[in-house]
Structure 1
Amino acid sequence: MKNKFFANNRLRLAVTVPALALSLMFSSCDKEVTDLQPYDRLTEATAFETPERAELAMAGVYDAAQSGFYLGGAVRGYPFGAASIEQGDMRGEDMLNVATFYAITYGATYNASSANNQYMWETLYGLINKANVVIEGVQAAATRGVITAEKAKTFEAESRFLRALAHHELLVHFARPYKHTADASHAGVPYRTVAVNTPARIEEVKVHGRNTVKESYDKLIEDLTFAEANLPETRAGSLKISRATKGAAIALKTRVLLHKGDYAGVITEGNKIISTAAPFTSPIGSYKLESQPDVPFASYANNKESVFSIENSSTDNAGVNGGLPAMYGVSPARGLVAISPIIYNASFWKANDLRRTLLTTNNGRAFYLTKYRDAATNSDYAPLMRYSEVLLNVAEAIARTTTGADARAVDLLNAVRNRSVTTVADQFTAASFATSNDLIQAILNERRIEFLGEGRRWSDIHRLAKDPVFSTGGVPAKVAYTNTKFVTWAAASGTVDAATLKIAAVPYDDYRFVWPLPITEVNANPVLAAQQNPGY
């Protein structure tokens, strides 16, 4: 029987002990380690007895981010190997569910027993708990002199980065946005900062319910600030993208602060990694936009634009039932997620935009993305943060805190847009915008195009839900694939056939705007059972 360190991963993750499965072959390790003790005999004590084992423990946290379980053992990219992108897209209106595979998420027919919601919750808390186990383990290892204090802080910083990433994903699915109440005192999610790995710890967390959204965001910023202070600026090879860095922590802070509505904070953080003038090469990490929009997807390990991605490989991926290439691509891929006519036909997406010619295709029935290309082995990395997002985060924050069309905000927008919109007559100048709201709308439109198929649409719908000007009012109505024909897709036409909009909108005040806490959790935790989202 395996000990608790490698226990069955299907445990109630906000309450009981998830596994810290440490893969000796995990691909993000930068060297092979020979260890004569079988990996399934390691305990939490022995896992931190040597520097090599501590490194493997850290790799195990990344593994939890990439390949959490689904339905008791299958790997479908939960939570961040593919699932966060697919679920984020299916909650929005710009990507189209082709078959029944994502119908529950796409049509908002979920309940507390829905598998996708349940396993997103459980694998996110599994990742969080593994991060907390490592934090405690490396701190103790440093005290014993097994690793240096500096190395322990680096491991802790990586773990706190991933812990923040996971908690924020929970917040955008299971809680109302920051601006739902004036002081963000409404229910967030349980923010776990200690390892739940003993009976006493289990009982301890049972009496603590959901933190408020404000408390959750305060803890997010605290974790990311620690990560920023203790992570390296860069790493060797593909690890500069697949392992946390200082730039990744700062970039994630700009996202979190944008959700909070702290626009001054977004600008302050963004200015750390955005140069004062074009081409806006980052002084930290040397991030920069690639010359064409397809480069970050054609060369994951070597491009300059990816800030943080989850690594997949031919031997370790989400498979045909979860992999990004399998879901988003045309034959031989499954082709279950197409581009919706809602965004494809949008007039603000110019017909000659290079993102149409370089990043889309069709099968004679619908249009699809080509961002994810390796349908044979599903080795495409899951892009969680690109430099273009940081530029647009800061552009929006500047536009929201200035009057008129601020020159720097326009320049940041154009840096992202003009590599794809190459016709000069179609490019923006300050004169293109009569008001700052016009500029903000252009930035929001650009986000929908630039991050199409990267799971960011739901995140924007969520954070803008209470915005007095730019809210969608909830989840917009969606196109039903069965009501479409190939001619339904008409680039930049500005119209969508009303007969195709058969998936009804979900108003913001509707209980379905947020996911329910899963039945497995509320059955195990009476405090959280009493804090279930209303309506479920």
Structure 2
Amino acid sequence: MKTIVYKISGLLVMVLLLSSCKKGFLDIVPKGKAVATTVSDYDQLMNNTSFYSLNSNNNYLIMGDDIGAEQARYQNTDLNTQRSFGWEDVIQTEGQDDVYTAVQLQNLYICNKIINEVISITDGSELQRKRLQAEALATRAWINFDLINRYGKPYKAATAAQDPGFPIITQANVNATNYIRNSVAEVYAAIIADLKTAIPNLPAKSVFVTRLSRPAATTLLGKVYLFMGQYQDALPQFNSAFADLENDPSIASLYNYNDAFSETGAFRPFGYLGPDYPGSNVSKNQESILLKTQYIYPNSNGVVMSPAVMSLYEPSDLRLNFYGRTRSDQTAVPGELRVKSAAQFSHLGIELSDLILMRAEVKARLNDLTGARADVQRLRENRMPFADSAVPATIGSQTDLIRFIIDERQREYAGEGQRWLDMRRLSVDPIFENQISRHFIYAADGETVTKTITLRPVRLTLRIPQTILEYNPEMRDNP
């Protein structure tokens, strides 16, 4: 096993890199000792780029049913991408580590180190130590929420206590052995406990948008409740996040696309592939309550947008400016297919638009249809001309409004990787549980479908990485 030492803003961390030699469960994360003795040292650990620049091996984007593929180009992509797109049982080749999960476990190790150690050091004020511990707790909750939405079944109250989830790891101990899979219910309970403990000690606004703040944590807690179907618990959390934003609008604010796309607007000038927008410029993050980005490969790889999703947009919807007919290599996309223009970054953190849509959905599910409509329109009037922004009058029933909000999520996040998580949670929702997800591969004319792939419900849950199972023989894999 190869050892390297790297520097994080003056703090040395020893890391043992992955190799083919024997290793235990937590050896798939950086194993070693962080030389941290002061509040500043521990604080610098939270600035590790892996917390906010998500590893590009994350396959959420490629698994959403909001995309398709061009056969001629897609067949030349790497096997992991093709297997993720095909919703196959096995993604990694034999002996290959799941790099994305390994990085998340590295981050979990750092969080646990801070949570368990920072309070006892004598340096710094009590407020500083509690705030840093709170941030690590909330970040641990974020990581566990991510992991349970990869390796645990979608939350269903009737079965969550029996459904296998993922190990709950609370110690920075690389020598621990015999990890077991806690139940989905236990993991969700641990996430909620971490967030509830953290929120009172978090600041309303962080120094960096990449670090957890109180509105980010309350939004995440509301999202957890939303995924559990506990809408009455989610709403107060979303309201609390909005209260922080109203007290300090500099935390996050919506771009008004009517202005941003004007001749002197924030998304100008257009490059040869499209606008200068958050997907092409990571510094354009004014909508981010918590900035987490994933670098996405150029669209020359054959990934295209689903025509069904593109049909959800009205002609005046300015979000259509993000989807063009020219690839990153400046070749034309065939037929009427579109690609995400100039896309380099997918935003997978906590965005103001997501908070708005989640609260709208929760209000609709609690039968506050007037409040839900108002929230949706708040977003839509910043995405298209005001005259076209109202929720259509034909959307009258509670169910119709919930469906409209989910469609609005697709219009807002098409090609961003958010759809995969929605597919999971909606699969156990009575309104959407019979919905079938498919991927289509298109011929060179951009119209003829050469292959249709139908998602089997079992593959809404990924299999546990082989490197974890090898050293935990009693740990059950997913089917």
Q: Deviations over 1:450-485 (max 9, x none)?
A: 0122211000000011111123545x111104x253
2:291 counterpart SS class: strand
Q: 2:431 maps to which residue?
A: 469
Indicate which of 362, 367, 380 corresponds to 1:397. 362
Work out whether residues 214 and 241 of structure 2, in 8 Å CA contact, stay in contact via their aligned partners in 1: no
- Tell me the CA shift for residue 246 of structure 1: 1.0
Report how many residues are paired.
435
Distance 2:200 2:471 in 1: 37
Matched, 1:289 2:254: yes
Distance 2:192 2:342 in 1: 31
Matches within 5 A, 1:72-151: 80-84=54-58, 87-98=59-70, 99=74, 100-101=77-78, 102-111=81-90, 113-114=92-93, 118-141=98-121, 145-151=122-128
Q: 1:406 maps to which residue?
A: 369
Distance 1:466 1:50 in 2: 46
Q: 1:8 maps to which residue?
A: 16
Work out whether residues 306 and 385 of structure 1, in 8 Å CA contact, stay in contact via their aligned partners in 2: yes
2:289 counterpart SS class: strand
From the superposition, tell whether residues 410 and 308 of structure 1 become closer, same or farther in structure 2 (CA, over 3 Å). Answer: same
Work out whether residues 175 and 189 of structure 1, in 8 Å CA contact, stay in contact via their aligned partners in 2: yes
- Tell me the CA shift for residue 168 of structure 1: 1.1
2:453 counterpart SS class: coil
Q: 2:46 maps to which residue?
A: 58
Q: 1:368 maps to which residue?
A: 339
Matches within 5 A, 1:296-307: 296-297=278-279, 300-301=282-283, 303-307=285-289
Q: 1:460 maps to which residue?
A: 422
2:452 counterpart SS class: coil
Distance 2:449 2:402 in 1: 29
- Structure 2: segments with no counterpart, 5+ residues: 6-11, 261-266, 268-276, 327-331
From the superposition, tell whether residues 51 and 129 of structure 1 become closer, same or farther in structure 2 (CA, over 3 Å). Answer: closer
One-letter code aligned to 1:229? P
- Tell me the CA shift for residue 120 of structure 1: 2.6
Greater Cα shift, 406-415 or 49-58: 49-58
- Tell me the CA shift for residue 352 of structure 1: 2.3
Q: 1:516 maps to which residue?
A: 463
1:181 counterpart SS class: coil
- Tell me the CA shift for residue 225 of structure 1: 2.0
Distance 1:421 1:484 in 2: 33
Indicate which of 216, 219, 238 corresponds to 1:248. 216
Matches within 5 A, 1:169-188: 169-179=146-156, 181-188=158-165
Work out whether residues 158 and 227 of structure 1, in 8 Å CA contact, stay in contact via their aligned partners in 2: yes
Indicate which of 176, 195, 202 corresponds to 2:172. 195
Matches within 5 A, 1:280-429: 281=246, 286-292=251-257, 296-297=278-279, 300-301=282-283, 303-310=285-292, 323-324=295-296, 326-328=297-299, 334-344=300-310, 346=311, 348-357=312-321, 359-363=322-326, 364-365=332-333, 366-370=337-341, 372=343, 380=345, 382-402=347-367, 406-422=369-385, 424=387, 427-428=390-391
Q: 2:8 maps to which residue?
A: none
From the superposition, tell whether residues 425 and 135 of structure 1 become closer, same or farther in structure 2 (CA, over 3 Å). Answer: closer
Work out whether residues 160 and 184 of structure 2, in 8 Å CA contact, stay in contact via their aligned partners in 1: no
Distance 2:224 2:342 in 1: 25
Q: TM-score, normalised by structure 1?
A: 0.74
Matched, 1:485 2:445: yes
One-letter code aligned to 1:103? Q
From the superposition, tell whether residues 477 and 171 of structure 1 become closer, same or farther in structure 2 (CA, over 3 Å). Answer: same
Work out whether residues 96 and 340 of structure 1, in 8 Å CA contact, stay in contact via their aligned partners in 2: yes
From the superposition, tell whether residues 234 and 177 of structure 1 become closer, same or farther in structure 2 (CA, over 3 Å). Answer: same
- Tell me the CA shift for residue 343 of structure 1: 1.1
Distance 1:2 1:297 in 2: 33
From the superposition, tell whether residues 260 and 114 of structure 1 become closer, same or farther in structure 2 (CA, over 3 Å). Answer: farther
- Tell me the CA shift for residue 370 of structure 1: 3.1
Distance 1:339 1:117 in 2: 29
Q: 1:507 maps to which residue?
A: 456
One-letter code aligned to 1:453? G
- Tell me the CA shift for residue 122 of structure 1: 2.1
Q: 1:32 maps to which residue?
A: none
From the superposition, tell whether residues 243 and 360 of structure 1 become closer, same or farther in structure 2 (CA, over 3 Å). Answer: same
Work out whether residues 55 and 103 of structure 2, in 8 Å CA contact, stay in contact via their aligned partners in 1: no
Distance 1:368 1:252 in 2: 30
- Tell me the CA shift for residue 427 of structure 1: 2.9
Q: TM-score, normalised by structure 2?
A: 0.82
Q: Deviations over 1:267-305 (max 9, x none)?
A: 1101112259xxx84658643322128654466446431
- Tell me the CA shift for residue 217 of structure 1: 0.8
**What is the identity percentage for the equivalent residue pairs of Structure 1 and Structure 2?**
21
One-letter code aligned to 1:257? Y
Work out whether residues 233 and 246 of structure 1, in 8 Å CA contact, stay in contact via their aligned partners in 2: yes
From the superposition, tell whether residues 305 and 112 of structure 1 become closer, same or farther in structure 2 (CA, over 3 Å). Answer: closer
- Tell me the CA shift for residue 428 of structure 1: 1.5
1:479 counterpart SS class: strand
Q: 2:477 maps to which residue?
A: 532
- Tell me the CA shift for residue 407 of structure 1: 0.9
1:421 counterpart SS class: coil
One-letter code aligned to 2:306? S
- Tell me the CA shift for residue 17 of structure 1: 7.0
From the superposition, tell whether residues 112 and 521 of structure 1 become closer, same or farther in structure 2 (CA, over 3 Å). Answer: farther
One-letter code aligned to 1:258? L
From the superposition, tell whether residues 452 and 425 of structure 1 become closer, same or farther in structure 2 (CA, over 3 Å). Answer: closer
Work out whether residues 15 and 524 of structure 1, in 8 Å CA contact, stay in contact via their aligned partners in 2: no
Work out whether residues 238 and 359 of structure 2, in 8 Å CA contact, stay in contact via their aligned partners in 1: yes
One-letter code aligned to 2:224? V
Q: Deviations over 1:377-415 (max 9, x none)?
A: xxx57442201111111111111111xx71110010111
1:480 counterpart SS class: strand
One-letter code aligned to 2:216? A
From the superposition, tell whether residues 66 and 287 of structure 1 become closer, same or farther in structure 2 (CA, over 3 Å). Answer: closer
